Each structure stands twice: as C-alpha cells, then as structure tokens.
Amino acid sequence: ALAWVALRGAASPPPRVSEEGLERLSPWRVAAWLGLAGLGTVLLGATSNVLCQDVSAGPLLWALPLGVYLVSFILPFEHPRWDKPTLWLSLFAAGALVNTAALEDGNYGLGALLGAHLLLQLGSSLFVHGALFRLRPGTEHLGTYYLVLSAGGALGSLAVSLGGPLLLDDFWEFPAVLCAVGLMGVLHLARRPDDMRSPVFAGRLVVAISLLLSVLVLAGSWVGAGGRAHERARMRNFFGVLHVAELDAQTDNHRVSLYHGETIHGLQLRVPGKEAEPLSYYGRGSGLGASIRLLREKTPALDTLMLGLGVGTSAALLEAGDEATFYEIDPNVVRLARGEGGHFDVLDRVKARVTLREGDARALLEQDLAAGLRPKDLVAVDVFSGDAIPVHLFTAEAMALYARALKPDGLLLLHVSNRHLDLSRVAFPLLEELGLHAAKVVSPRDGWAYLAVWVVASRDKALVDAVAKRTWVDVAYGTEQPHRWTDDRSSLVDVWR
C-alpha cells in the first residue's frame, strides 16, 4: 500500500503555481512523501528482524541497519550529485542476487549474511530516499514536508513492529517491501525518455532487466523457503517465526520437526515405540545425555532444571522418579510442546514428572531462588531462538545464578551449538571465576541425534572428566581469546567465528 501511494503520487502532474508564485500542494504529492518515508522505515525494520532472528537481538545488529538507513537518508539530501537512481538500483539488484544465493546455500557465514542484507537495504533505501528528495517542495512548504516525512516513518515502523506479528505468520514484510521497491525501480527506468540508440538507454535497459529478474528470484526464493516442504503449521510472535514440518510419513523415518527461523529446535519420531526417543541435540551420546547417565549412577531420582523447552525432547532422557522444571519464554513453543495442533506429544510420553513455567528464564530463576529453590542435580541452559542468543542469559550475573541453583556435586550444562558464534569463549572465563571446572564436549551425529556442542561444568573436576570420557573425542578444557560478558558489557564481535 505504501509503495502504491508513493508511485501514484510520484506520477501525479507537476505542482501548479498560484498567481502569487507559490507552489500549490496536491494531495497525491503529499501522499507520495508519506509512502516513500514509510517504505524507508519498513526496509529498516524488516532487515533488522531478519538479521536478529538468526544472530542476536542486540545493539550491534540494530545499529548496522540503522546506520545504513541514516546514510541512505543523508546522501540524497546532502547534494544533487548523489541523485543516481540507476546506480542505486544496480546495487539493489546485486544485493538481491547475493541474498538469494546466501538463502539457498544455507551454510553462509555471518559476514555473508550481514553483507547480503545490508547491500540490499542500502540500494533500495538510497533509491527510495532519492525519490523523496526529487519530490521535495519549495521552501514555503518545507514544514509540511518534514512533518509528513516524520509521520510516514512512524507509520512504516508501526507496520513492521505491530502489524507484522499480528497479521503475518512469517517475516513476509521483508521480501514484500523489496519486491515493491524493485518494481518501482523498473517503472522508474521504463518512464525515462532517453533515445533508444544511446548508451545511457542501453545501460538503463540492462539495469531494468536485471532488476526485474532479481525481484523474481528474490520472491521465488522467499516463497520457496517460507513454504517449507511438508509444512503443517507456521506461527509468528514477538519472539520470531516457528514452523512445524512433517516428513517421510508412512516410513520408518516418519518425524515431525519444529523450526525457529532456519534452525531446528525440536524433533519427534512418529514411529510406534520411538515417539519418546531423545533426538536432535539431546541424544544419549550428547553432553546432556552423558551427564544424566553419569548423575544417575549416584542419584537414582534426579531433580533437574531446564532453561528452554523446544518440544520437550530433553525430558526423554529422564526416567520415572525424576523431576524436570522447564522455563520457556515463548508462549507458542509452550502450546506446541503441550500438544496443541496434535504435532508433538513428547511431554505426554516421558516418564519423569515435568513442570512448565512460562516467562523469562532469568527472571523466573531469580524469583525461585528468592523463594528458596531446592538445589538441583543438573541445570541445563538451552536458550537459543533460531541461532540467536539472549545475551542476558550468558553474562557473569546469569552464570552466578546458575551456580547458586546447583547442588555442590551437580552439573551445569550450556548448549553452545551455533553456526555463527563461539560462545565457549564467554562461558569458560565466567565459569572459572565461579570456581567451576568446565569442558566443551562435541558429540557426533548419530542417526537423528545431531552433532551437538555442550559446555559441561561442575565444582567437582572428576565429574567433568567423567562426562568428557563418555562423549566423542573432541573435548576442550579451555578456549583461546576468552571474553567476559556482564550485564553492563557484551559484544558479539568477541565471539564471531
């Protein structure tokens, strides 16, 4: 709608001049200002959402798209020499192709992810704000002009932050606004009255064709990724987008998976007799599985605390007489794990007694400790959303809370599997400060149990060594370039791979 208003206003006749020589504003010209300003902030918000889902909702990844937005606003208004829509549309086309390649590959690094999205945002935002500059009024209407720009920016922000989670089941605003801007660019180039035989026309024609192709490819890749094969449900809220997919029905590999963004967060086999098998990152040979087996040798009935729920797969490692308390902040995850929609029923099948508590894990833990929480045999921290990390759960202050919740001979487990970040660099120095011995254990893929990286810690070094011996040979007792995160200071740059 914002793009249509912007296009309609940009195509309106030139402003008329009154007898006094003053420019007369048309409603469509004002509507164009509103639409273009709104598109700029939609691009900012949509890019930020997509980046933060798979890395971290932290200041660094807010600042980068914001910096691109501000640069794209400053340059067109700084001097007419920056009014180069064909160049900006060329950047847009290049960014769309790089973004599509990264999306299709799936194994992109953090640099490729950031570069592709920011290049795409830069090209499209420069084009939009350049059009806004060309449609500026005379000095007599500048007050109205800047007021409408502010209103359009606020409208675009509200569309993403409120409209998106309420009305959309995925981050569809991202490909939608990019395709809208791309089509606006194609129409802009098609309206230019250059001589068809001139090199300038030929260049614009090449850019227009490239732009159209890039829009089609970008839209196709997003529709393909969003319409995940065998998808059974999709939902979105403030915490991101969840997908449920069912695969290989009527076979011995019949399974249902929960995805947060592009990262799998839960898996259940739907084969009779195997519905409560511990799978994905929680296999029996994983750091968590080895820790529970070890603790069971000296404590028949385990009392455990799990920060992060998924579909409850980790509870499948427990036995009758064990207790597990889960903290989970995302209400959609809680509903799915409890069986809503009939997709998952691990929690109904496990033998242990399970308690679910909804809310921020750190806030709930602080409340429980203040109320006299009974120390636990095992505390497991598995709190990613997509591949993004809630930083406040990986600081010195948070680690101190986990240590307080442990028995003297208990085990603390931190799940640090991540494509982009090496969180063991943060975990080791913080655990050492608390007097905990720690090791990073990596278990190999084994059927539907995935390769998993856990940091195991305890006040008893013998316990950590015993867990390490029960997992794969890839074990580390320290890390190069350790970094200390606190509530006052943390930096994702510290832990980029």
Q: What span, in angstroms and rounded, lies between the C-alpha atoms of 287 and 293? A: 10
Listed as own residue / partner, the contacts of 289-293 with beta carbons closer than 8 Å and 24 or more positions apart are 289/317, 289/443, 290/441, 290/443, 290/467, 290/470, 290/471, 291/378, 291/411, 291/413, 291/456, 291/467, 292/317, 292/318, 292/378, 293/470
Position 128 scores a pLDDT of 93
Tell me the DSSP string of 58-108: SHHHHHHHHHHHHHHHHHHHH-GGG--HHHHHHHHHHHHHHHHHHHHHS--
Residues ≥6 apart with Cβ < 8 Å to 111: none
| Residues making up the chain, counted from first to last | 497
β-pairing verdict for 16-17 and 23-24: antiparallel
Strand ranges for 308-416 from DSSP E: 323-328, 353-358, 376-381, 406-415
- Cα–chain-centroid distance for residue 395? 20
Which SS3 state, helix, strand or coil, does residue 218 take? helix
- For 231, the enclosing helix (H) or strand (E) is strand 231-237
The one-character DSSP state at 258 is E
Sign of CA dihedral 40, 43, 49, 51: negative
Q: Which residues pair with 304 in a beta bridge?
A: 324, 378
CB 261 within 8 A of CB 387: yes
Q: Which residues pair with 189 in a beta bridge?
A: none
The four Cα atoms 90, 96, 98, 104 give a dihedral, to 10 degrees, of -160
Output phi, psi for 330, to 5 deg.
Answer: -90, 115
- For 190, the enclosing helix (H) or strand (E) is helix 173-190
CB 194 within 8 A of CB 303: no
What is the maximum span of the chain, computed from C-alpha positions, in angstroms?
A: 95
How many other CB atoms are there within 10 angstroms of residue 199's CB atom?
9
- Put simply, whether the predicted model's pTM sits higher than 0.95 gets the answer no
Strand ranges for 343-387 from DSSP E: 353-358, 376-381
β-pairing verdict for 376-381 and 406-415: parallel
Q: What span, in angstroms and rounded, lies between the C-alpha atoms of 192 and 195? A: 9
- For 425, the enclosing helix (H) or strand (E) is helix 424-433
- For 441, the enclosing helix (H) or strand (E) is strand 437-443
- Cα–chain-centroid distance for residue 281? 19
Q: List per-residue pLDDT tens for the chain, 497 residues long.
A: 878 777 777 666 666 655 555 667 788 888 889 999 999 999 999 998 888 776 666 666 778 899 999 999 999 998 888 888 888 888 888 888 777 766 555 556 667 778 888 888 999 999 999 999 988 888 888 899 999 999 999 999 999 988 888 888 888 888 888 888 888 888 887 776 555 555 666 667 777 777 788 777 777 766 665 445 578 888 888 888 888 988 888 888 898 999 887 778 888 988 888 888 888 888 888 899 999 999 998 888 999 999 999 899 999 999 999 999 999 999 999 999 999 999 999 999 999 999 999 999 999 999 999 999 999 999 999 987 545 678 899 999 999 999 999 999 999 999 988 877 888 889 999 999 999 999 988 888 888 888 889 999 999 999 998 888 876 555 666 666 778 899 998 887 777 76
CB 423 within 8 A of CB 414: yes
- Cα–chain-centroid distance for residue 228? 17
Helix, strand, coil content of the chain in percent (nearest 5)? 50, 20, 30
Position 194 scores a pLDDT of 58
Q: What span, in angstroms and rounded, lies between the C-alpha atoms of 6 and 134? A: 12
Spatial CA neighbour of 308 closest among 388, 248, 369: 388
Q: What six digits make up the tokens of 425?
A: 């660099």
Position 419 scores a pLDDT of 75
Rg (C-alpha) for the chain, rounded Å, is: 27
Q: What span, in angstroms and rounded, lies between the C-alpha atoms of 73 and 66? A: 11
Position 227 scores a pLDDT of 46
Q: What span, in angstroms and rounded, lies between the C-alpha atoms of 124 and 246? A: 37
Residue-wise over 431-447: b if at least 16 C-beta within 10 A, else e?
A: beebebbbbbbbbeeee
Which SS3 state, helix, strand or coil, does residue 155 take? helix
Q: What span, in angstroms and rounded, lies between the C-alpha atoms of 88 and 77? A: 15
Sign of CA dihedral 387, 225, 251, 338: positive
CB 332 within 8 A of CB 355: no
How many other CB atoms are there within 10 angstroms of residue 192's CB atom?
13
Q: What span, in angstroms and rounded, lies between the C-alpha atoms of 243 and 232? A: 8
